[in-house]
């Protein structure tokens, strides 16, 4: 879910703001390093995506920018190209308006994998006074030709526009060892599935807290994102007694330092009420500490 108004005028400012969340701004001009170049190209791809959405409509923009196997949460994750192509095109492609812009982003050390997140605003052109706000989260991967494509997109609704500057710098990976991407993919899938094994009590709040990155982010409907382990862990402890994750798939950078998983969750709250839905997790690898959960996005099943 997303925002493209005033994108062209703000493109340079947004790019500088995103880069500033990744590393301190130097006092003197310098040649951008490979990470900054990759990050800039990712932000440019998101801005171009948003521009297309404003000019040609949501359907055309999403179909043009998603990977062939990219998924969108509706809230159930579906293959966007297959699902949306099967639906009739709207008579007016601009009847539904969706504006978005990246506020923060991150890239893997291999520069082939990254994420973007920021605020979106949605409304119907026939009733522009009734605008809905939220936060999108997208994971991107370069295709064989080096072009960035969206492989996962999930959004939450929020009471108003979110101030991302207040959340602090965006999480980034800190792993510099051998990738072993295929092996690490299986390790992540096993890590998530352990709470849904037969006889398992599920993942407890204590287990969950151990998985969190120091700068973890929690995205839940009807609230702005929470940032830092110190805020996320108590919120989860307040919300649930246990959760079981059933992963559907995992995608990983060539460097083996950034990955996204998604699947179903089965959560039991403190009042023993059960809640089901779908999740997307962005994981960052932190050397000896292993994989840490950097972004946790969950969308409940409709009642």
Among residues 166, 164, 169, the alpha carbon closest in space to that of 23 is found at: 169
> pTM of the prediction?
0.90
Residue 120 in 3-state DSSP? strand
Q: Please state which CATH number belongs to domain 181-300.
A: 3.10.450.50
pLDDT digits (tens, 9 = 90+) for 145-186: 999 999 999 999 999 999 999 999 999 998 988 888 999 999
Among residues 213, 203, 200, the alpha carbon closest in space to that of 296 is found at: 213
What mean pLDDT value characterizes the chain?
A: 90
CATH class of 7-166: alpha beta
The Cα 161–Cα 63 span in angstroms is 26
Exposed / middle / buried, residue 207 (Cβ in 10 Å: 0-12, 13-18, 19+) = middle
* Predicted local confidence at residue 22, as pLDDT: 46
Q: For residue 293, what is the enclosing H or E element?
A: strand 291-300
Residue 279 in 3-state DSSP? strand
Every domain range in the chain assigned CATH 3.10.450.50 = 7-166, 181-300
Q: What is the DSSP letter of 5?
A: T
Higher pLDDT, 288 or 261: 261
pLDDT digits (tens, 9 = 90+) for 30-84: 677 899 999 999 999 999 999 999 999 999 999 999 999 999 999 999 999 999 9
User: In this structure, are residues 273 and 258 in contact, taking their beta carbons and an 8 Å threshold?
Assistant: no
Residue with tokens 């404003």: 54
Q: What is the DSSP letter of 51?
A: H
The Cα 108–Cα 252 span in angstroms is 9
């Amino acid at each position: 879910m997303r925002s493209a108004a005033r994108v062209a005028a703000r493109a340079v400012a947004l790019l500088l703001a995103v880069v500033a969340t990744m590393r301190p701004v130097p006092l003197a001009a310098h040649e951008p390093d490979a990470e900054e170049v990759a990050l800039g190209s990712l932000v440019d791809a998101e801005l171009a995506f948003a521009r297309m959405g404003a000019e040609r409509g949501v359907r055309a923009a999403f179909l043009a920018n998603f990977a062939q196997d990219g998924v969108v949460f509706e809230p159930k994750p579906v293959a966007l190209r297959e699902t949306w192509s099967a639906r009739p095109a709207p008579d007016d492609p601009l009847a539904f308006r969706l504006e978005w812009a990246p506020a923060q982003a991150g890239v893997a050390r291999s520069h082939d994998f990254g994420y973007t997140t920021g605020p979106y605003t949605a409304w119907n052109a026939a009733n522009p006074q009734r605008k809905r706000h939220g936060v999108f989260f997208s994971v991107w991967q370069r295709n064989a030709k080096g072009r960035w494509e969206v492989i996962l997109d999930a959004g939450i609704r929020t009471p108003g526009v979110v101030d991302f500057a207040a959340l602090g710098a965006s999480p980034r990976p800190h792993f510099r060892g051998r990738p072993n991407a295929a092996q690490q993919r299986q390790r992540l899938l096993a890590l998530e599935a352990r709470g849904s094994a037969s006889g398992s009590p599920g993942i407890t709040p204590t287990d969950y807290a151990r998985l969190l990155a120091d700068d973890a982010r929690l995205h839940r409907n009807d609230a702005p994102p929470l940032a830092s382990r110190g805020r996320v862990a108590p919120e989860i402890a307040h919300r649930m007694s246990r959760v079981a994750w059933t992963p559907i798939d995992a995608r990983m950078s060539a460097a083996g330092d950034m990955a996204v998983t998604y699947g179903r969750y089965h959560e039991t709250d403190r009042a023993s009420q059960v809640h089901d839905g779908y999740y997307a997790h962005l994981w960052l690898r932190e050397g000896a500490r292993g994989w840490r959960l950097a972004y946790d996005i969950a969308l409940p099943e409709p009642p």
